[in-house]
């Protein structure tokens, strides 16, 4: 045996000595990545089909409503009614977006990589939730802005008219935010339960769809109390009830609201409880998520 002739060459590996970004930057990066994921930005054309299909349909409807209003002068939909009318598309959008955000990570088993960073488990879930809320809010808020611009440029009462229109828009945007929070928390919770995007999408739609007829049945039962509380049973009508109570006339502009009687605070409490329950279940889910 000859003597050891091996040599360790210095091929110039260096340790990273620059600044290390902390938790907040990780959160921000994950959030931004989440919002981009939802709209398919930075991904293949196939990933853009469904999100942008929904976005374009919603925008076209808003443009149509604006055109009718500027030509005939008749308000087809208020900002809040626009959000209500688009509820099925919002459900579909949530069913597209939520599985993309969380189910893919579960399926491809990359969560250990995420959690080996200075990223608490709750932050992962919350950043995804925030991304979905933002995306849903943009989905509803963008077309509302289109409607506002259309109304503002065709008003014949000058600055006064624009200001009035803005006062109508702001509650509408707030209402859209309410939609976004409620829908995002439910959809993300359902999606985080399965790694299969197909099942996640089906589950989200099933949850939203099967509760809607329950409202229809409850509101014809022979009891006034149950009738006025019926809208609690389904997320879309629950949001409608809360908006009706909190923003009242500014939302409906005297076009008949929901018959919720004096139960407004109950609706608000149920909405808050629902969101809180979904978020805490989501956090609980990511405390012990399988690493595969």
Partner 1 sequence: MSTVTWITARGLFGRSRFLMLLPLPLILIGLAVLCRSLGVDPGQWGPPVLVGLGLAVVLPVVALIEGTGVLGAEIDDGTVVHILTKPLPRWQIVLPKLAVAAGVTAVTVGVPIYVAGVLADSVRLGLALVVASAAGALAYSALFLALSLVTRRPVLLGLVYVLIWEGLLGRFVSGTRVLSIQQWVIALADRMAPTPLLGTSVSVPVAAVLTALVAVGFTVLAIDRLRSFSVAGETS
Taking the least distance from each CB to partner 1, the nearer of 36 and 196 is 196
Alpha helices in the chain (DSSP H): 23-39, 45-72, 79-85, 87-98, 104-108, 111-115, 121-154, 158-191, 197-218, 224-229, 235-246, 249-252, 264-287
The least CB distance from residue 139 to partner 1, in Å, is 15
**Alpha carbon distance 197, 109 (integer Å):** 14
| Nearest CA-CA partner of 267 in 213, 230, 224 | 230
Phi and psi dihedrals of 12, rounded to 5? 90, 20
Residue 103 makes CB contacts below 8 A (sequence gap 6+) with 191, 192, 194, 195, 196, 197, 200
The least CB distance from residue 90 to partner 1, in Å, is 11
Residue 266 makes CB contacts below 8 A (sequence gap 6+) with 229, 232
Distance linking the first and last C-alpha atoms of the chain: 46
The least CB distance from residue 174 to partner 1, in Å, is 25
The least CB distance from residue 24 to partner 1, in Å, is 29
The least CB distance from residue 169 to partner 1, in Å, is 25
Taking the least distance from each CB to partner 1, the nearer of 47 and 266 is 47
**Alpha carbon distance 287, 201 (integer Å):** 23
Taking the least distance from each CB to partner 1, the nearer of 37 and 169 is 37
Taking the least distance from each CB to partner 1, the nearer of 46 and 160 is 46
The least CB distance from residue 135 to partner 1, in Å, is 16
Quick check: helix, strand or coil at residue 151? Answer: helix
Taking the least distance from each CB to partner 1, the nearer of 100 and 123 is 100
The least CB distance from residue 188 to partner 1, in Å, is 17
Taking the least distance from each CB to partner 1, the nearer of 37 and 127 is 37
Q: Are 243 and 176 in contact (CB under 8 A)?
A: no
Which residues sit at the interface with partner 1, rule CB under 8 A? 43-44, 46-47, 50, 53, 57, 88-89, 91-92, 95-96, 196-199, 201-203, 205-206, 209-210, 212-214, 216-217, 220-222
Taking the least distance from each CB to partner 1, the nearer of 209 and 273 is 209
């Amino acid at each position: 045996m000859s003597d050891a002739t091996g040599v360790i060459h210095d091929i110039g590996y260096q340790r990273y000595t620059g600044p290390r970004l902390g938790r907040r930057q990780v959160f921000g990066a994950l959030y931004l990545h989440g919002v981009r994921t939802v709209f398919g930005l930075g991904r293949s054309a196939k990933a853009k089909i469904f999100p942008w299909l929904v976005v374009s349909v919603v925008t076209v409807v808003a443009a149509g409503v604006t055109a009718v209003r500027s030509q005939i002068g008749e308000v087809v939909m208020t900002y809040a009614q626009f959000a209500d009318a688009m509820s099925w598309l919002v459900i579909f959008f949530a069913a597209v977006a939520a599985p993309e955000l969380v189910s893919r990570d579960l399926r491809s088993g990359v969560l250990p990589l995420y959690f080996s960073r200075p990223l608490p488990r709750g932050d992962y879930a919350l950043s995804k939730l925030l991304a979905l809320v933002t995306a849903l809010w943009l989905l509803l808020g963008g077309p509302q802005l289109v409607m506002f611009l259309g109304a503002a440029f065709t008003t014949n009462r000058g600055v006064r008219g624009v200001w009035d229109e803005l006062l109508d828009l702001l509650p509408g945007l707030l209402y859209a935010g309410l939609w976004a929070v409620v829908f995002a928390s439910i959809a993300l919770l359902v999606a985080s339960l399965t790694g299969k995007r197909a099942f996640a999408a089906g589950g989200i739609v099933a949850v939203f769809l099967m509760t809607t007829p329950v409202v229809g049945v409850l509101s014809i039962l022979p009891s006034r109390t149950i009738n006025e509380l019926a809208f609690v049973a389904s997320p879309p009508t629950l949001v409608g009830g809360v908006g009706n109570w909190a923003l009242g006339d500014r939302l409906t502009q005297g076009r008949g609201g929901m018959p919720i009687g004096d139960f407004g605070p109950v609706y608000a409490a149920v909405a808050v409880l629902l969101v809180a329950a979904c978020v805490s279940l989501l956090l609980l889910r990511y405390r012990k998520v399988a690493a595969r």
